Structures are given as C-alpha cells and as structure tokens.
Structure 1
Amino acid sequence: MTGPVLIAAFEGWNDACQAATNVIRHLVGRYESREVRHINCDGYYDYQVSRPMMCHAAGYANLIWPQTTFYDIALDDVRHIYAQIAPEPNYRWRQYCSESLAIAEELDVNQIITLGSMFSDCPHTRPLPLSVSDGACQCEGDREYNGPVGIPTVLDASAADQGFAHASMWVSIPQYLGSDECAAGTMRLLRALGERIGFSFDTGDLQAKADHWKAQASVLVRCNDQLGDYVSHLEREYDLKCKADDEASPGAPQAEQLVKEAEDFLRHIGD
C-alpha cells in the first residue's frame, strides 16, 4: 500500500513498560521529525490522573499540560510516516477519535496502525508474543479477545468505520518483571511495524538495551527459586504451544497425516 501511514500509541493502561509509546519516541529520536498537529487537552483529561508537569528551563518555570502530538517523520529522502502519541484520554473517547481521524484525513493518511503492550504470563527467555490484527483477520495470535479495551482499540474501530485501512499490534510483556522499560517489547513492535509497511528501521541502541533487559531478568530469576520454577513452567507451556501450532499449520506432515487418516476412516464406514 502506498501513501502515508499514521502510527498511534498511548501512555497508560495500553502501554505496559512503555513498550508501545517508546516505538514512537525511538522513531522521533532516530529520524528527522517535526511536530505538525496537536489536540488540545481541555475536556479530554482528568488532571488528577494525568497531571500537568512543571518544567524549569533557562530560569523560567513552565507548566506542561497533557496533550496529543502528531509528528511527521522522514524515513528517507522520499518516504515519511506520521506518528501520534498521547496519554490515554479520560473522557469523550468518541469525540477524541473523531478529532484524531480528522487530522489523519488532513494529512492524507490512508492507513492507521495502533500499537499496544500488555502484561501477560510469558517467559522473558523466548520471543515476546505478538498479536497483529488486520480488520477481521487475526494475523498472529490464535485467540480473539473479549473484554475491556483501551483507546487504541477504539481508535482502530473508528478508523474502520470511516473507511481507513487499519491494523493493531500488541506485544506481551512478562508480568513478573514489574514496570521498568522493556526494550525487547519495543524491538518486537518496531520490527513488526517494519514488516507491515515494508521498511527496515534503524534500531539504534535498542538491541543492546533489549539484551541488557533480558540479562537483568535472568539474574532476577536465578536469585529466586520460586520465580525460577514459575518461569520454567512458562517456558514449557510456550514451547508446547509453538510445537502444537507447527503441527497444526497447513502443510505440516502431522496435519496431513491426520487428514489422510480421517478420510480413510470415512471411506470405510459401512464396509
């Protein structure tokens, strides 16, 4: 697909260990970027939840209020993408999404990709689980989710209603490691995003940070026998699921053998 893409990520409930919003921070930091649009914070935020920040610079005190920022990110001389980053709004989600999509329309965006990260029961010693949905098609991850949703899902649904091409990407983060930043999760989303839009992103120091995150996690596990047993259990579950997925995939020898045996059985019924 040609034309600009809008990548959206939101701080808060949808952003375990900041893995999703750090994708946008990384892109803004690694490529030539400029702010092109904003959404005013008034009416969308509870300031006792998303508090303004005090910033001192050049001898002056400034209040920084929560807001939505849209960036134009130049990937090379001919290609650019847009990115939207904000704290998750507290109020008026429908109107917020309408305002976001109006800006996307102004920028001639033809595809919207929302990013998210969530805590899950998964081991840090394996590739972090990634779920990618494209409209009604669940491209990775084999379970449809039913339950509470955040603003990325609402924005994705609103984009579909307005005729935008759309997709969402979620990475799972080991819940036993707490809330420190997870560069491995950011790397997982960044690579999936690159595959989606057909571009190889500059990962900078993300791989080194991801390796450090994994090494720290391994030290923590080695120092706690109970946690070590739990992670070993998660590893076995992860490996068994991968094996089952491989065996059930179309064209796998085991799957073909099962189909053949079923067909033979059905042919001989009543003989």
Structure 2
Amino acid sequence: MSSRVTFDAEPSRLFIEKSKCSLEAKWLVFDRQTFHSSLDAQPPTTSSDVPISSDRQCFPRIDKSSPEESGWHMLPSRGDRVNRLFVLDSPYNVEETDESMDALKIHSRPEGLRRPILIMAFGGWNDAAESATTAVRYLGTSFRAQKFAEIDPEEFYHFGLSRPYVRFKQGSDTEREIIWPATEFSITQASELARDVIVGVAVEPHLRWKTYCNLVLDLARRCEVALVLTLGALLAEVPHTRPVRLSGSASDPELAARLGVRPTKYEGPTGIVGVLNTICRDQGLATASLWANVPHYISGIENPKATLALVRRVAPILGTTIEVGDLEEAVKQFDANLKEIVAQNAKIANYVKKLESRDVEEPGPAAPGGPSDLPPAAELVAEFEQFLRQQRPE
C-alpha cells in the first residue's frame, strides 16, 4: 500500500506515517520528482538517498543529486508514528502512487459520492452454480451501472487455468480481440437508490491474494466506500424443493440483523471472499458476507433460485425494491424442469426425500463425494442436461 501523506500549515510539512510504509510500496511521486524505493535497497550512503523508513528498508531515491536542490530538508523523527518529517521550501502538489498499485486502473473517479456500498462476487470456488456472480451482475444491470475501474489480471492469474478467450471485435468479422479475466468495477448513482452502489465481479485470483485484496481496499478508500458486501454460494446437503437458505456474517451485530444472518460455525478452507472480508475489517471498514446454500447434487447447473434469494436479501440494504420478474420466471421454469426430472428417476426422487426428512436449520457444506446413499451428482446433472436438450426446438 502507499504511504499516507498529510500536510501542515505553511511552510508545507509533509508527514509520512511509519505504520503505512509497506514493503510493497515502490514509487512515490511528489510534483514530478520521482522517488524510488526497492525491496533490495540498502541503507542510504549519500545525501541523495532520503530515508523514509530505514527499519523496513523503504528508501526513496530522488532524481537530483541532493534533496536540498529540490527544496527538501529532512528533520529528525518525531514520535512513533512519524518516521521522518520533510519541510518543503515551497508549496507542492503531491500525488501518491506505487508500483504495486499499477494494476488498479481507475478510468474515471465518480463525483458526488453518497457513501457507496461495494458489492463483490468471485467465480469459482466461492460461486456454486454461478449464483453469486449472476446476482451481482443482475444488480449492476438493474441499476444501469457503468464501468469505471478494473484490476489488471497479469499479476494475479495463471492463464493456463483461467484462459483468456478470443472474439471478433464488435461490428467486425475479421478483427479479433483478446478478453482477459480482469476484475471490473461498475458504479450506479441512480436516484432511486438511497446510496451509490459499486459492483465488482471477477474470477477468483490464483496468485497474490493479499496484494489483490489490498488493491480492492485501495479502490474502496478512494471511492469513500462505507460497506463492503461480498456474495457467495456454497454447496450444501439441502433439497432443491425447499426455499434457499442464506447464511453469512457481518462486522457488527446491527448489520447482521439487517441482513438477517447469523454467524456460521464453519471452520476450514476459505476463498478470496474470506480473505477480502478479513483485510477490510482489520482496516476498519464495515464488511458483510452473504451466502446461498445450493443443492450439491445439481452443482453443475445455473441456479436462478439461489440468485433470486441473494438479490432479494440485498435489496433492503440498498434502500430500494428491485424488479425481479424475469428471475421469478426463470425460477418457475427451473423448478418445473427439476420436478419433471425427479419424477422420471426413482433413485433421485428417493434421495431428495431423504434430504427433505433430515433438513436442518444450518446444514454444513457437502462432504466430498456426499453420503453413501447419494447418487452421483453427475447423474442428475446429466439427466437435467438431456431434458433441456429435448426441450430445444430442432
């Protein structure tokens, strides 16, 4: 993260907080004067080396031969939080940046922000049946959110595992473009909303999770985000015939009550959602996470029922109602298709009945392989896909 800079009265005094100087901070730009700090830097040996944080080896180097020539004068350390005090001879405009932040690209910063909520979902492990990412995209589309920022994928993805894809450029049947698995942020400042909403969707990164989450945190700070809400979907031993159960957590009890969730007792592997929530919470930002429980035996099928449950639960937090007629129609068709499939397969029907009979308040995640009386998940998925193929016109 970048060092935090603040100014005092004239002559301008620049404070760099020791606690904010990170090993990942590599560039600070002060009025076109570039200071470079390297992870391999050695303690300063000449007057041109101006230390910011010698105990953490964060050494900016000024372009000119000495700091005095640029109007900088270093004074002794003052207190635990301020590692060095620099006094400028003349006013300067100060811009913060660093090499680790280059991946965050804010194309246009929205004006007149109203305490935005950042809502995010990640495809992959955190997104059973694509329910969470579909919900976030649905929210963005419903309120006509416009893209304004993104995170470059280069440092965070193994492209052999999450491959880019090629497509023809819009309006052309000869020119192609590569679409990379980037993280995109869109914002809506619709008047019907009580506050602004930023939506972010991405495939779960493969690499450098802490750095990635700090980029999201940096965007949240720049946009004055008041709440980070993550959506997820997990596979659970629940029947598809019951209403979708939602679980989750929040950084304070009042927020948890508004979302209607109680803390889960889950302990075990976590995804990027858990890491992001923890990093944001540790930095004092309000966080909440909402998860839909998806029947594990239909994990390979998009589940509009889970998506609808997430969208409906989020709506009160946004202070508005959301038109979900198309989702409701999709759910009706989804339920009808499953009902017909189950009616044609006695083995699957018996298993669903067993799930219904032991349906509990807070089911845990599905165990790998499921219980011994579970027909293979692929069996129902294959049945469902075959049924859908039969419904398509020739």
Report the TM-score when normalising by structure 1: 0.83
Given the alignment, which residue of 269, 285, 295 partners 1:164?
Answer: 285
Query: Residue type of the partner of 1:38?
Result: E
Given the alignment, which residue of 330, 341, 353 partners 1:220?
Answer: 341
Q: Secondary structure at the match of 1:95?
A: helix
Matched, 1:232 2:353: yes
State the match for 1:3 in structure 2: 115
State the match for 1:148 in structure 2: 269
Matched, 1:36 2:36: no
- Counterparts of 2:192 and 2:284, CA distance in 1: 29
Bigger relative CO (Cα 8 Å, ≥ 6 apart): 1
Indicate if the aligned counterparts of 1:177 and 1:217 stay in contact, CA closer than 8 A: no
Listed one character per residue, the Cα deviations across residues 61-93 of structure 1 (whole Å, up to 9, x for unaligned) are 000111110110234356420011111000000
Q: Secondary structure at the match of 1:127?
A: coil
Given the alignment, which residue of 184, 189, 193 partners 1:74?
Answer: 189
State the match for 2:15 in structure 1: none
Matched, 1:205 2:321: no
Give matches, 1:43-82, under 5 Å: 43-57=155-169, 58-59=172-173, 60-76=175-191, 79-82=195-198
Given the alignment, which residue of 88, 92, 95 partners 2:204?
Answer: 88
Listed one character per residue, the Cα deviations across residues 156-181 of structure 1 (whole Å, up to 9, x for unaligned) are 11110111111000001111123121
Matched, 1:187 2:302: no
Size of the alignment, in residue pairs? 240
Matched, 1:173 2:173: no
**Contiguous gaps of at least 5 residues in structure 2:** 1-113, 363-394
State the match for 1:125 in structure 2: 241
Query: Residue type of the partner of 2:200?
Result: Q
Indicate if the aligned counterparts of 1:132 and 1:141 stay in contact, CA closer than 8 A: yes
Larger radius of gyration: 2
Higher deviation after alignment, 46-55 or 203-212:
203-212
CA change 1:142–1:64 in 2 (3 A) is closer
More helix, by proportion: 1
- Counterparts of 2:342 and 2:269, CA distance in 1: 31
Identity of aligned residues (%): 32
- Counterparts of 2:361 and 2:216, CA distance in 1: 38
CA change 1:51–1:150 in 2 (3 A) is same
Higher deviation after alignment, 23-32 or 113-122:
23-32
- Counterparts of 1:82 and 1:229, CA distance in 2: 44
Q: Secondary structure at the match of 1:140?
A: coil
CA change 1:234–1:195 in 2 (3 A) is farther
**Contiguous gaps of at least 5 residues in structure 1:** 243-271
